[in-house]
Structure 1
């Protein structure tokens, strides 16, 4: 695997999804990452990765022979158009609709779309709005 830039101070260092059909997952993630401007960082016969997301087969050494359960992942989008492009590209690449692009009540300006990837993971693209572009962080209370 190639060397990557190390970022200290993040809550999440990386995530791994173990999937049934790597080719179907790669088509889906390449399509949504392309419109979000995230390149595939590397790949081999039994995995691929982009940024901090590692996707592998159950046969991959790191997977220990087990599929991961259902997860929710949210990717930041540069603007509303990127959220809409994410949704369209994901549907065309085998994703299933789980929430069309639109405003959400989580905080003012929260604009998101949701797709289920080929393994049923809930994948979101979110733009936090113009007012939140320069803010260092957003606090959400549940």
Structure 2
């Protein structure tokens, strides 16, 4: 069983990054929105609170760091499509998409949102 529950992400400029996440998160399967005054919540299929969700709030003092959030891709083509989407919506590709020497089939793209938070989308067989 996948024990993942949710991500509570801080960004230093919500108005700048929200258009990015409104395109990225649905493409990753977070297709339902539950927004409040302070939080923008994107959830997967299923009932809250049991389904995975990604919540974003603004903290003007937030400083991105070396933390990284990773997502699975079904195949290399999905990694490539997501890399192209990241470019189109204002993200920064830091590396890839390409094979990485983590394992013989580790195909990934590493990128940042417009505020500098770091991500990876990966497909691997072993």
- The alignment's TM-score, normalised by the length of structure 1, stands at 0.69
CA positional deviation for 1:76: 0.9
Structure with higher strand content: 2
Report if aligned partners of 2:12, 2:61 keep a CA contact under 8 Å in 1.
no
Map of 1:55 onto structure 2: 56
**Looking at CA atoms only, which structure, 1 or 2, has the larger radius of gyration?**
1
Which sections of structure 1, spanning at least 5 residues, go unmatched? Answer: 1-7, 59-64, 133-142
CA positional deviation for 1:84: 0.8
Q: Aligned equivalents of 2:2 and 2:112: distance in 1?
A: 30
Map of 2:46 onto structure 1: none
CA positional deviation for 1:24: 2.8
Q: Aligned equivalents of 1:17 and 1:85: distance in 2?
A: 24
Which sections of structure 2, spanning at least 5 residues, go unmatched? Answer: 43-51
Map of 2:68 onto structure 1: 72
Q: Which has the higher contact order (CA 8 A, sep 6+)?
A: 2
Q: Aligned equivalents of 1:75 and 1:107: distance in 2?
A: 17
Report if aligned partners of 1:36, 1:82 keep a CA contact under 8 Å in 2.
no
Map of 2:111 onto structure 1: 115
Does residue 21 (structure 1) correspond to residue 4 (structure 2)? The answer is no
Q: Aligned equivalents of 1:36 and 1:48: distance in 2?
A: 16
1:9–1:95 distance in 2 versus 1, CA, 3 Å: closer
CA RMSD of aligned residues (A): 2.3
1:68–1:44 distance in 2 versus 1, CA, 3 Å: farther
User: How many pairs are equivalent?
Assistant: 116
Report if aligned partners of 1:77, 1:125 keep a CA contact under 8 Å in 2.
yes
Map of 2:23 onto structure 1: 31
